[in-house]
A and B are shown apart, each in its own frame.
Chain A
Amino acid sequence: MADISVKIIKGCQKGDGHSQEELYRLLAPGMYGLCLKYSGDKNEAKDIMQDGFIKVFQKIEQYEGKGSFEGWVRRIMINTALERFRSRSIIYPLDEKMNNAQEQDEPDIIDQLSAEDLLSLIQRLTPQYRMVFNLYAIEGFSHKEISNMMGISEGTSKSNLSRARNILQNKIKEIYQLSGVKKKDV
């Protein structure tokens, strides 16, 4: 967790450029990591990151000091990703088509699967599966919350999650087989 001082927040609330930059530097890695999870690629992650931070600085005077500041920023980022998802989801196909053209890592054992490996698996999910999986598995939202956030039914959220898990599971199995590792129940 980044250590954000009250002084930095107050500075940002007054529109002080140095404070803004300092805040950005402190939060950027975590938020960029988050944005990557909600994106298909780096460019999309950059877009979400930029839009999200602009919102943070525009609305920072409304932050009342209740709750974690980083959590507040994180939520803005997720909302930005959701907004983007909502505005663009229509152009994506509903069914999953994994992009096999992308180069895959071949880890030896499951524990050696790096965060980057998992990230690339997530990034190759369709936007809707990725969004549901992120919100449920990583952020811990309920299906009801997800259905409200994404504008889909709870049933869709559940089936998307199950489909996303299946895809991820199969991909991981594939990686094991390719690397000659004994199949494990993952």
Chain B
Amino acid sequence: MSETNEHIDKLFREKLGNYSKEPPGDIWEFIREGIGRKPQRKAILLAWRVAAGVAILITAGYLYYSVRQGEKGEITENRSMQEVMVMKTDSIYKSDKTARIVSQEDTTADYRLAKDETKSSERIVLAEAGKELHRMNLQDAGLPESPVAIIEISDIHLKADIYPADIPFLLHPYMAEPDKILEKKLSRTDRYIKDITEESVEDLVEKKDIWSLTAQISPVYSYRTLGSHDEAAVASMNESESGKLSYGGGLQLGYKATERLSFYGGLMYSTIGLQVSNLVSYDLDKYIINGGGVIEKPRSKINIYDLNNSTGFIRPDKSDEFVINPKSEEISYSSSNEVRTDAMIFSTDNNDKIDQYFQFLEIPFMLRYKVLKGKFNLNLLGGVSTSILIGNSVYLLSDDGRSEIGETGGIRTMNYTGNVGFGFDYDLGHNFLFIFEPQLRYYINSINEKNLISNRPYSLGMFTGIRYIF
């Protein structure tokens, strides 16, 4: 059979291989008209390209300079990529991502990938890695020595294996206007895109990266600022109160609006705390009446004073312990017949402390602006959060240990904070970033409206986490 096949092929090859025939006479007239007309169109096209090219070079150059300042060594590669852009697209996007393309001869070449962001669909620019491509500029190019291809990806199933053998068909300068050629070829993406390696697919997917999901956690140091006309009270509270270290964290979803600006929001959990020192605690279940006898459980007979501090009044409703601040509080008793007003409360210590904790569910709305871009990004962060009180507890720290005694009364449920910070991102590859974000949150409102003293907590967190981009 194969012999027959070869016979057939040979027959036609021998007889028709160099077959020639005098063409009809009118063809030349059409050709002459055709070449007479085209240069004008070509000149307009050329002028347009030059103008577009200059504009893009200026923009790209500016962006390139502002972004890549200090990152030397990649300049050459990126510059040549820009020139490809000037030639082919009005894109200003650059990338040093590479894709491994397996050629027909089973040799491999690394191509840089870049996305043309000005088009709604993905357009990937491939440029042979490490080669200067400015010679590809169509205005002065001869036949290309370094193949370049622009592949349009209609969807993100980037299974591609671009054969260098295809590339001359994509961009061979003797084809008609390059833009048209591209359009035509690129509509047949299935032909040119077969099987890019796994890594490249990830790289390409990353180019979409408009969404991000961030998980972060942080130790949070919190304290408060006080506002009051009563300077003595403020001074006293500042003396007895101190900040607390606790934890916060959560999940945030981000949307990249522009190359530099992102919005994000999410759900965060945070705790702020305050410690009050120099307290005296009492056991409410026992007290000593005059004469030395101990009476059990006369609680109903005692006027219990709340402990007043900068956050409000602490109600000891979960414990038999009763705490006062000896410097600012007094304790008195009912004047019933059974209990004498001069009874001594059973005192334990005068060096106890309480810890107050407030747990909030935060719904942040934040802006992130990228100041420095690269493997390592620096961002400025700013925004507001709605902080919903979900937990409120007070613990007594005494010689007997730590016990919950109740909660602080009058704390607002809905609170608002202003947030600022820095964000450091480090590209871990595979669409993951390591993030470190020192952030300051400051309450816009006093957390206790009923209190005469305005208490506005602030917290400083060192948020550490992982961001996934998709």
Residues of A near any B CB (own CB < 8 A): 15, 17, 20-21, 24, 28-34, 36-37, 42, 46, 49-50, 53-59, 62-64, 66, 72, 76, 79, 83, 86-87, 110, 113-115, 118-119, 122, 133, 136-138, 144-145, 148-149, 151, 162, 165, 168-169, 185-186
Alpha-carbon separation in the docked complex, A133 to B13 (Å): 10
**Could you name 11 residue pairs across A and B whose Cβ atoms are closer than 8 Å?**
A29-B23, A32-B22, A33-B18, A49-B31, A62-B174, A63-B142, A114-B15, A118-B11, A118-B15, A118-B16, A186-B4
Q: How far is the CB of A62 from chain B (nearest CB, A)?
A: 5
Known A54-B35, A118-B16, A148-B169; judge A42-B104 contact (CB<8 A): no
B173: CB under 8 A from chain A?
Answer: yes
CB atoms of A145 and B174 under 8 A apart: no
Cβ distance B88 to chain A, nearest Cβ, rounded Å: 17
A36–B24 alpha-carbon span in the complex (Å): 12
B154 to chain A minimum Cβ distance, whole angstroms, is: 15
| Choice from A29, A113, A133, A145 contacting B22 with Cβ under 8 Å | A29
Question: In whole angstroms, what is the CA distance A37 to B13 when docked?
Answer: 11
19 extra interchain contacts, Cβ-Cβ under 8 A, other than A31-B23, A148-B163?
Answer: A17-B32, A20-B32, A24-B31, A28-B28, A32-B22, A32-B23, A33-B21, A36-B21, A50-B31, A53-B27, A63-B142, A115-B15, A119-B16, A133-B12, A136-B9, A144-B104, A145-B165, A151-B191, A186-B4
Q: Which residues of B contact A36 (CB under 8 A)?
A: 19, 21
- Residue of B8, B34, B39, B104 near A186 (CB, 8 A) is B8
The residue of chain B having its C-beta at the shortest distance from the C-beta of A75 within the complex is B174
Q: What's the minimum C-beta distance from A29 to chain B, rounded to whole angstroms?
A: 4
Determine the chain B residues whose CB is within 8 A of the CB of A76 once the complex forms.
174
Q: Is B42 an interface residue (CB 8 A)?
A: yes
Give the Cβ gap from B31 to chain A, nearest Cβ, in Å: 5
Question: Are A115 and B19 closer than 8 Å at their CB atoms?
Answer: yes
A53→B141 CA distance, assembly (Å): 20
Chain A minimum-CB-distance residue to B29:
A50
CB-CB < 8 A to B174: which residues of A? Answer: 55-56, 58-59, 62-63, 72, 76, 79
Docked Cα-Cα span, A103 to B466, in Å, equals: 76
A46 to B21, CA, bound (A): 12
CB distance from B135 to the nearest CB of A (A): 12
Residue in contact with A64 in the complex, picked from B34, B42, B142, CB distance below 8 Å: B142
- Could you give, for residues 168-181 of chain B, a 1 whenever the CB lies within 8 Å of some chain A CB and a 0 otherwise? 01001111100000
> In the complex, which residue of chain B has the Cβ closest to the Cβ of A61?
B142
Residues of A within 8 A of B175 (CB): 55, 59, 79, 83
Q: Interface SS of chain A: helix, strand, loop or mixed?
A: helix
Are B24 and A42 in touch, CB under 8 angstroms?
yes
B residues contacting A by CB (< 8 A) are 4-5, 7-9, 11-13, 15-24, 27-28, 30-32, 34-35, 38-39, 42, 104, 141-143, 163, 165-166, 169, 172-176, 184, 188, 190-191
The interface residues of chain B lying within 8 Å CB-to-CB of A119 are 16, 19
State in angstroms the CA–CA spacing of A36 and B142 once bound together: 30
On chain B, the residues within 8 Å of A50 by CB distance are 27, 30-31, 34
- Distance between B264 CB and nearest chain A CB, rounded to angstroms: 44
Which of B13, B23, B32, B190 has the most CB atoms of chain A within a 10 A radius of its CB? B23
A62 touches B142 (CB 8 A): yes
Are A165 and B5 within 8 A (Cβ)? yes
The reply to whether B38 and A186 form a contact with Cβ atoms under 8 Å apart is: no
Select which of A29, A30, A138 is within 8 A of B12 by beta carbon.
A138
Task: Please give me the residue from chain A that is nearest to B15 by CB atom.
Answer: A115
The docked-state distance in angstroms from the alpha carbon of A110 to that of B10 is: 13
Residues of B within 8 A of A86 (CB): 184, 188
**For the complex, what is the distance from the CA of A144 to the CA of B143, rounded to whole Å?**
23
- CB contacts (< 8 Å) of B27 on chain A: these are 28, 32, 46, 49-50, 53
Determine the distance from Cα of A23 to Cα of B379 in the docked complex, in whole angstroms: 63
A114 to B8, CA, bound (A): 14
Q: Which 8 A-B pairs have the closest CB atoms?
A: A59-B174, A32-B23, A137-B9, A29-B20, A33-B20, A54-B34, A33-B19, A57-B35
- In the assembled complex, how far is the CB of residue A184 from the closest CB belonging to chain B, in whole angstroms? 10
Instruction: Please name all residues of chain B whose beta carbon is closer than 8 Å to the beta carbon of A149 when the two chains form the complex.
Output: 169
